[in-house]
Structure 1
């Protein structure tokens, strides 16, 4: 059976720079009936474990280390025995949420993760955070962008460890160069496509963030 994509929405708090906001997060599960990976273990490890059922979890992959994307990662790892993977440039953010527990392994640009016969390629897409990554699965016609690219524009860059010119370059060079029909599955909110977002790049640059 080919890999399929499942979406789980969990709710909790995002905290950074002294502020806290209520957020809904997309948790993505990619796999088949036997094995899976989780992209962004947000808020509710028990709910994610329940969604996995009896499948073997190969990895908990973090697109970046803002607390709302990693707060449930260690607990999910403990429940399943799966390693938590994170780009090393985001460990400074990870430590704000989990000072006593390091990620289990690194993510690197060009790294390939295999699940259910499907390959996801890690694309380093910094800007929203230094170690932000996207995961491109051409066989599934999709890219998981975390908080780098949303329906309607780039992720926020007004807080610590973020940079607007960097996120624009990541989107221009790594994401908008993908086939236009590629489905963009985001960290929050609705999915979109590369083709729907690409025409608006100049508007985003003019607007700035």
Structure 2
């Protein structure tokens, strides 16, 4: 059975640098009827656990460690026995939310995470956060971009741990080199494609952040 992609939208708050904002997050499930991985366990462990159902949850992969993408990860891991993966460059951000709980494993660039026939290649794409990653599966024709790339432009870089030239470089060198028809599934909001966003690169650079 081929892997499929499911989305759960959860609501909560993003907090950084003394500010707090209400947000809705996309939680992505990749798997089949028996096994699944979760990308970004945001806000509501119960809602994500319901979507997983009686399937085996093998991994919780964090695209980065802003609180709104990881706040439900430890509870979901404790409930299911899943392993939490995070790029080590985002440990300082992780510790702002979970000072007493470390991730279980460290993501590395080029690593492949397998689940139910899906092969998700880790692309280190810093800029929105130092340890931000995207997950690309050519078989599914899909890249999960977290908050690195959205419909209409790059993720925000106006707060601590972020850097606009770095995110532009990550998008240009790691994402826009993917096939233009690749579907882009984001951490918030609607999907897009690599081709649709590639046409805006120079505009983003001119506009700055």
Which TM class, normalised by the smaller chain length?
A: over 0.9
| Length-normalised TM-score, structure 1 | 1.00
Residue aligning to 2:135: 135
Correspondences of 1:110-149 after superposition (within 5 Å): 110-149=110-149
- Aligned runs of 1:96-107 on 2, under 5 Å? 96-107=96-107
Q: Which residue of 2 aligns with 1:192?
A: 192
Q: What does residue 178 of structure 2 align with? A: 178
Give unmatched runs, 5+ long, in structure 1.
Answer: none
Alignment length, in residue pairs?
Answer: 209
Provide the rounded CA distance (Å) in 1 between the counterparts of 2:118 and 2:97. Answer: 31
Shift, 1:33, TM fit: 0.2
Cα distance in 2 between the residues matched to 1:128 and 1:117? 30
Provide the rounded CA distance (Å) in 2 between the counterparts of 1:207 and 1:76.
Answer: 39
2:182–2:195 contact (8 Å) kept in structure 1:
yes
> 1:118 Cα deviation (Å)?
1.7
Residue 95 (structure 1) shift: 0.2
1:89 positional shift: 0.1
1:39 and 1:114 map into 2 onto residues whose CA distance is: 13
2:31–2:37 Cα contact (<8 Å) kept = yes
Deviations 1:117-142 (A, max 9, x none): 22100000000000000000000000
Q: What RMSD in Å do the two structures reach over aligned CA positions?
A: 0.3
- Alpha-carbon separation, structure 2, partners of 1:104 and 1:208: 36
* Runs of at least 4 residues off by over 6 Å: none
Match of 1:40 in 2: 40
Normalization by structure 2: what TM-score? 1.00
Matched-pair contact (CA < 8 Å) for 2:30–2:118: no
Gaps of 5+ in 2: none
**Following the alignment from structure 1 to structure 2, what is the Cα–Cα distance between the partners of residues 118 and 150?**
23
